[in-house]
Amino acid sequence: MKVKISLILGMLFGMFVTSAQSRLPNILVLYADDMGFGDLGSNNKDSKIPTPHLDKLCSEGLNFSDGHASSGICTPSRYAMLTGRYHWRKGQGIVHSFGASWFKEEQLTLPEMMQKKGYHTAHIGKWHLGFNWPAIRNKGKGEFQVKTKKGFKKVYGPKAFDWSKTIPNGPTAHGFDYSFTDAVINFPPYCWIENDRVVKAPDTMMDVNLWKPLKEGKWECRPGPMVTGWDPYENLPKLTEKAVHYIQEQANEAKPFFLYFALPSPHAPIVPKDEFLGASQAGPYGDFVVQSDNSCGRLLKALEASGEADNTIVIFSADNGSELYAYERDAKYDHWSSNPFRGTKRSIFEGGHHVPFIIKWPGVTKPGSVSDALISQIDIMATLAAVIGYDLPKNQAEDSYNQLPVIKGAKKKVRTVDVHNTYKDSYGIRQGDWVLINTPSLAKEIINYEWLAKRDYPSKKRKTDMLYHLKEDVGQMHDVSEEHPKRVKKMSKLLEEIMKKEFSEER
């Protein structure tokens, strides 16, 4: 009898082990906000910012040296990553205070795809993709006008909303089983939103004078409702705590998990905790990057402790390049966040969208490997679809490429063309090693000529159809359009074709 029981228990244990080993991999996406390619030590040997946890992740996984966000600003890059399509097919610009959702009901999102394959999905951190705020508005109440440099602007107070109601069309309406967010660190409402309800109702107006003064940059906080006692310095710590707890909770669950941890940092306001002050040689911003690295490290440590690390794909990237303070930082601390590129956040040049991009998949990615394959965050959706065995409909994620062969070590590049955009009517197209910046004007492009002069930039002339060869000129200092008119014409035509119809290379 004892022998039979032992055999049965052995069979059941064997079935459990087999089931656990064959389970689809967990997915952990670590998404930084306004972090430059050159901030990471693994990308820049001259970085003045210690990033040991992300450097370790890089040493254990695959580092893409040619990884890109769709845009040079927040909302569009997030939309593109979560839908697998160029953001400009939807629009440009960001979701402003109390702005509407960027998602249409029929649009398949990355978390929805994961749900369809049995994943538990969670979003913790910055959202910046909108909600249906009018659904909880107390019409005609709690709004007033404030004077700005551009005239008067409508501002909502705490009584403008019925905070007891659910807030529709947020993360949980588009594929996330769980969400914990403050929407945007420098936009109202200044409170926590768990799933589709506020944790505590705002009862006062935001006042930066109530907070500890900044040591770098500006608050850049829009006026609006706030919970009494709200402290932006506690934003990243609270989100990190929530994400660590989520990972711990998933350790014994039968379902695989998909966690999108969207850090609010090192985006302005630059609010490193006291324990991180002086941790870098690049000022408070550098210290905030160190704290961001520490938060990622805490999640990775929790993953190891949970026993799930070997069955988890970890992806680290950022929504765009570093903010304009990068120029002052370079002059003061000799740390260039976009190194080795030109441009910062919002820029059509590489520094605006060429971002850190690391993937670790134990047993699949070769530890410490580097790939120069062109990859976009848009490709995450088709790649993960291939990993989990999901057949993407032809009318969804239409710009996404399956990069799984590259992740597994294939030398042949999957993506050869990419389109970059931040402002309307201003586009850059990448084809192989060539980049064409096709724009009628660079009026909105922030160009720091003092910074360029130190790097022997040959001219202050602004023009359309600027052509650069990245392999020979990664800093985009030498426009060679006049030497290659046929290539300019060919790439301009290709850009027109991509924008007129859905791009249809094999994915």
Question: In the chain, how many domains are there?
Answer: 1
Specify the pLDDT at position 454. 82
Note whether residue 163 is domain-resident: yes
Round to whole Å and give the CA distance between 371 and 63. Answer: 6
In a domain, 7, yes or no: no
**Interval 178-220: pLDDT, tens:** 999 999 999 999 999 999 999 999 999 999 999 999 999 999 9
446 within some domain:
no
Of the candidate ranges 105-114, 219-228, 440-449, the one whose mean pLDDT is the lowest = 440-449
Range of the domain at 137: 24-415
User: How much is the average pLDDT of 443-447?
Assistant: 64
Residue 281 has pLDDT above 90, yes or no: yes
pLDDT band, residue 251 (cuts 50/70/90): confident
Alpha helix locations (H) across 84-134? 110-116
Token couple for 397: 């994620």
> Are the C-beta atoms of residues 80 and 87 closer than 8 Å to each other?
yes
Contacts for 453 with CB less than 8 Å, ≥ 6 apart: none
Strands (E), 22-66: 26-32, 62-64
Average pLDDT value for residue range 470-486: 95
* 472 occurs within a structural domain: no
Alpha helices in 278-403 (DSSP H): 283-306, 325-333, 350-353, 379-388
- Identify the pLDDT of residue 507: 45
The distance from CA 205 to its chain's CA centroid, rounded to whole angstroms, is 29
Please state, for a pLDDT cut of 70, what percent of the chain lies above it.
Answer: 92
Residue 433 lies in a domain: no
∠ CA 39-41-44, nearest 5°, is 75
Q: Is the pLDDT assigned to residue 10 strictly greater than 60?
A: no
Q: With CA atoms as reference, report the closest residue to 261 among 74, 28, 40, 81.
A: 28
**Type of residue found at 506:** E
User: Which residues lie below 8 Å from residue 254, measured CB to CB, with a gap of 6+?
Assistant: none
Which CATH number is 332's domain given?
3.40.720.10
Residue 463 lies in a domain: no
* pTM summary value: 0.93
Q: Structure tokens of 422?
A: 């931040």
Which pLDDT score is estimated for 504? Answer: 44
Q: Report the C-alpha dihedral over residues 110, 113, 118, 119, rounded to 10 degrees.
A: 0
Residue 364: is its pLDDT beyond 90? yes
User: How many Cβ atoms sit within 10 Å of the Cβ of residue 37?
Assistant: 26
Mean pLDDT over each residue of the chain, to the nearest integer? 92
Q: Which of 28-37, 340-349, 461-470 has the highest mean pLDDT?
A: 28-37
436 within domain boundaries: no
- Residue 75 belongs to some domain of the structure: yes
Distance between CA atoms of residues 13 and 35, nearest Å? 46
